[in-house]
Amino acid sequence: MTATSPHQAARACPEVVCDEPAAWLHGAAEALHVLSRRGPADRLRAAEHAIDLLIQHAAPADWSHAGLLAQATPSGSTGDRVPASDPAVLRMARTAMSLRCSGDPGVPGVERIRMWAQMADFFAAIVPSAEPLLRRMQATVLYQRMEVGEVSQEVIDGLFNSYKWHRDTYGNEAYLTSLTRTNLAQAYRRRATGTDLTDAEELFREEIETRTRLYGSEHPFALVARNLLARCLLAQAEAADDGKERRALALQAYDEADSVRAVRDLIYGATSANAVLSRRLQAHALLLLGDSDDLNRARARLQYVLAFETARNDNSEWRGSGQTQLLLARVCLALGEHSAALDHARSAQRLLAVDAPAGVSCRKAADLVRQLSSANGPLE
Give domain limits for the chain.
1-74+83-107
8 A C-beta contact, residue 128 and residue 86:
no
Q: Give this prediction's pTM.
A: 0.82
Residues 78-90: tens digit of each pLDDT = 567 899 999 999 9
8 A C-beta contact, residue 237 and residue 246:
yes
User: Helices 153-170 and 175-191 sit at what angle, rounded to 10 degrees?
Assistant: 160
Compute the distance between CA of residue 195 and CA of residue 111 in angstroms, rounded to an integer. Answer: 31
pLDDT at 105 over 80: no
pLDDT at 164 over 60: yes
Strand partners, 58: 82
Half-sphere exposure of 303 (CA within 13 A, CB side): 9
Residues in the chain: 380
Which residues, 6 or more positions from 371, have their beta carbon under 8 angstroms from its beta carbon? none
Residues 287-304: tens digit of each pLDDT = 999 999 999 999 999 999
Which of 293, 233, 236 is closest to 257 using CA atoms? 233
pLDDT at 261 over 80: yes
Which residues, 6 or more positions from 138, have their beta carbon under 8 angstroms from its beta carbon? 120, 124, 158, 162
pLDDT at 1 over 50: no
Compute the distance between CA of residue 9 and CA of residue 24 in angstroms, rounded to an integer. Answer: 9
Residue 6 is predicted with a pLDDT of 41
Query: Counting Cβ atoms within 10 Å, is residue 256 exposed (0-12), middle (13-18) or buried (19+)?
Result: buried
Which residues, 6 or more positions from 97, have their beta carbon under 8 angstroms from its beta carbon? 47, 67, 68, 115, 116, 119
How many CB atoms within 10 Å of residue 229?
Answer: 24
User: DSSP 3-state assignment of 378?
Assistant: coil
Cα dihedral angle (79, 82, 83, 87), rounded to 10 degrees?
170
